[in-house]
Structure 1
């Protein structure tokens, strides 16, 4: 029996008007062809799980939407509609701006059922080995700011190289001085709270 999550209702209600009919349609298709699906919210986006394993996800942005298959990279995809992610086994339908961008309901049903079949067969995604993050040099101006904030400095030094790099890239890639200072201020606040750069999506 399908399990609906009221948080998904709230997500769709907050989406842009052009996105709402598409998100609702995709949601209906998933529940129609995957009766045992369970909804949840992960990383701020609606996800659909089948047999306790992630199957599909959808997201709304300012000018487009996305619908992804967790097993998209290993699905047959005879029509070539899935854009595969080289970093993992996921895949998506690309940028969606209206119902016209979606494959037919018949095709969507076919792909939804194939994803379920792979899950029933116990097919699992093989994760690519993680590459060690290269250590990035801390700019003098940020090091000085860290030295003045003991909590932020302690958290920054405890973080992994990859987490430190996320903060440093965010700060150093600012094109304007004003932007860089704002990012530094925000970074120090989050670090003092022990939060990584992308804590909102975890």
Structure 2
């Protein structure tokens, strides 16, 4: 169990209400993850396992936060548990220990296993029509990988103005008809 004096200093500088919360989180992390290494990252304490961030904690003027690096933030304050102002706002110790262990395990997983699949982007009718009008574009489109199709679809649907969208659709249809991927200009960089 390695403890970093900078984490001690961070806790000592925290508001009085936050100090017992931070001490409690720190102690639970060390119980759950005996091989953890403490660090200060982005100005707040983090608990690192195998070189990967697993758990972080922070204290603010009116609340504390607990971050599980492998989970999405819940909102209502930085962290997965919202704005914590008292110890009794934390889940039970057993639940936290289990989640800390899961966070460390998730952090060690290969990057591909940690990535969540992106939601599909529906093919707009006007884009489909433009591809149909361009010789060979449909065949090239069908040969693209999901990621290559997604690049074009995202580019088209992210246009804020209708004129921009129409220009992107026309350009995309020509490029696809020529067998070009969305970022073809940068492939040889």
TM-score using structure 2 length: 0.55
Distance 1:91 1:55 in 2: 13
Deviation at 1:127, TM superposition (A): 9.5
Deviation at 1:119, TM superposition (A): 3.0
Deviation at 1:123, TM superposition (A): 4.7
Distance 1:84 1:52 in 2: 27
In structure 2, the residue matched to 1:83 is: 74
In structure 2, the residue matched to 1:63 is: 62
In structure 1, the residue matched to 2:122 is: none
Distance 2:44 2:65 in 1: 10
Q: How many pairs were matched up?
A: 116
Q: CA RMSD in A?
A: 2.6
Q: Secondary structure at the match of 2:82?
A: coil
Are residue 29 (structure 1) and residue 28 (structure 2) matched?
yes
Distance 1:30 1:100 in 2: 17
Deviation at 1:93, TM superposition (A): 1.1
> What are structure 2's unaligned runs of at least 5 residues?
118-189
Larger Cα Rg: Structure 1 or Structure 2?
A: 2
Contact between 1:72 and 1:91, CA under 8 Å: does it hold in 2? no
Relative distance call for 1:9 and 1:127 in structure 2 (3 A) is farther
Q: Secondary structure at the match of 2:47?
A: strand
TM-score using structure 1 length: 0.52
Q: Secondary structure at the match of 1:95?
A: coil
Relative distance call for 1:67 and 1:96 in structure 2 (3 A) is same
Distance 2:16 2:80 in 1: 22
> What are structure 1's unaligned runs of at least 5 residues?
74-81, 129-202
In structure 1, the residue matched to 2:39 is: 40
Distance 1:20 1:39 in 2: 17
Are residue 103 (structure 1) and residue 103 (structure 2) matched?
no
Which moves more between the two structures, 110-119 or 30-39? 110-119
Relative distance call for 1:84 and 1:18 in structure 2 (3 A) is closer
Alignment of 1:160-171 (within 5 A): none
